[in-house]
Chain A
């Protein structure tokens, strides 16, 4: 933690903290990125899923720590983001607040500014997007705002890096000498001030105020508003305070709800201030945003446009990522494995160590890398959707449908992406602000049949249902969606009982996000996945290597630990029609990734091909050249994919070598009915380890991953049981 030393009015002070606050869509993120650039550190606020961005930089010979507060419209006690922002401001006491204000939306932004001023911390307004405001013909008198509010106002254009130096200089000069730059007094009107005075008088001896930890005016305002969080946290008995007379008078004049009256008052002040400082052209031109929305949100075109956009993003995400995933795979299974093997052979390492390193460790690394391209692509597009303003429209268009199963309009996109890969889909829930919406969406994502489950279906459909392959395949996808709808209802009534979150959302103007912003966000997400999730996945991959290969030297896989566990757990699956050790061992390894069900089956069902032909191993230089050539190939292929039309993955494309042998064996080990039950089980049973880790990573707790394991395992077992036993009953 940063030691926030409070030595006020000390020009020699070295460490300064600048908090950046503002409305969503005011350009806060762009401004921070422009100032901090690569020094930005992205993490989470403790205990919650809200992103926390910080940066340490040197400015003017001082150490500055920049803290980005969540974008909020207010500092009410009702949403996670607002509580984080105000707790930080009140408890951590930054030296100065930089309030990013959207110059094109002055009134609502200044409403927030007024709440910041109540805290008594020196404040500098970054009057942002002045270029857009000028384009609209707005003329804003920055000095007037500064003199009325008693703060500094610096015009900025964060996207063009304009005004940021001046902003920083001003902020630092305020932070160094807070005494001289305390915000001015903004009167809330005679009746409110008269009610506040006795409250402040009664509170001024509160230990927190005496210790200088609580700004008195803010404290008094919260007590007047009956802010539950403040009252309970600081043990204030609002009714016991000798304030009744003035408050009664206020209530008599304005009604019982003083919180609402104060909000009204602040908006009144913001409106007045806006009238004073802003000159708008007489006639409002129809803006570009409105013209785009006339199409994008059109009654008839809205949904087609949305679906087309989603189709494009889905295609781009997985088609661009695909060749790079293959390239990583080739890199680790080819040259990297070879080099490791040679190195170990050279060091005369024992066989088991070679196998552990090559198959366990390097195999695991390859596995982690395979997920990096789709995660990068996914985060790029999610950031693009959000930054451009389309995400809010997507939510607007889809909300009716998603609301019916207890979700938010924005839930649609993560769920859709789930069909490609559940892992980036879980990360895509980032776009949902409310923790309830986010958790519920993440719990339903694994029911979307991802690309890794397709190889399993392909083998089984090929072995049993070759003549109606399409129908059977579709039935599985539809089964997953149907189950998600039902589970959505069930979760809404059980786990997420209570009031559904509201849908009150700004539709921000369309804007072109800067490339820098897009890249920083994408990179941060991918990097975190590599470091945080990567370690776990690697550990699991090594564990599975142990299970499959120990005791060392087992010839028959039935004798391995995995085989033994398979035998023990087989009876669980007997009522479902596939109670063999091979099937259960495959399902166990499938927990790493569902396509591994097939590769394990290939190992346990089909006798190993003896003595693979030794190819002439390429030299180190040849390997290096090949890596470069194949990367160029991947680039080319990704580029071609972008332009080529989208072909739905055909069954033959997914088929692997040696699949014929496997199919023949499976045709003997299963019946059509047990095969279908098995496919449904693979569709529904616990998400793969990487999804679970992504959930842990995204939510900061194992809770949701645990719930997903529990409910999906129960669901899969029940569904497969009903299908198998029901099928037997009707004589299938």
Chain B
């Protein structure tokens, strides 16, 4: 299950990032690291990107990028 599968209001815990290089490092730098809790807050009016809450701040990312983040539902 990935972050893209969560609906607004649903929360999960990050398991790992299935990406390499720049994308992976960027996600990690923004706090997307294993074991961190994440909750989907909103979906943009046109369906993409999404807004999530992580490490007490609001982060937005495209579904394509969210798909590379493996989560377990909470």
Contacts and interface: CB of A to CB of B under 8 A. Distances in A.
A105 B57 contact: yes
A504 to B, nearest CB: 5
Contact of B46 (A105, A111, A263, A401): A401
B7 interface: no
Contact of A503 (B25, B28, B45, B65): B65
A300 B23 CA distance: 31
A401 B46 CA distance: 8
Interface string B39-57: 0001111111101000111
B47 A260 contact: no
Count chain B CB atoms within 10 A of each CB in A73, A300, A505 and give the residue with the most.
A505
Interface string A247-284: 00000000001011001100100000000000000000
Interface stretch (A39-47, A192-200, A391-399, A627-635): A391-399
A293 interface: yes
A400 interface: yes
Contacts, number: 113
B54 to A, nearest CB: 9
A502 interface: yes
Interface string A149-162: 00000000000000
B30 interface: yes
B45 A397 contact: yes
Given A264-B34, A267-B33, A78 B60 contact: no
B48 to A, nearest CB: 5
A71 to B, nearest CB: 13
Nearest to B47: A400
Contact of A396 (B23, B26, B30, B60): B60
Contact of B42 (A257, A297, A392, A399): A297
Q: Is the interface of B mostly helix, strand, loop or mixed?
A: mixed
Interface string A278-311: 0000000000010001000111101100000000
B42 A505 contact: no
Interface string A363-384: 0000000000000000000000
Contacts of B30: 73, 108, 504, 506
Contacts of A392: 60
B31 to A, nearest CB: 5
A506 B21 CA distance: 20
Contacts of A403: 48, 62
Contacts of B1: none
A503 B60 contact: yes
13 contacts: A73-B29, A76-B26, A78-B26, A79-B22, A259-B25, A263-B25, A263-B33, A293-B51, A397-B44, A397-B46, A400-B49, A506-B30, A507-B60
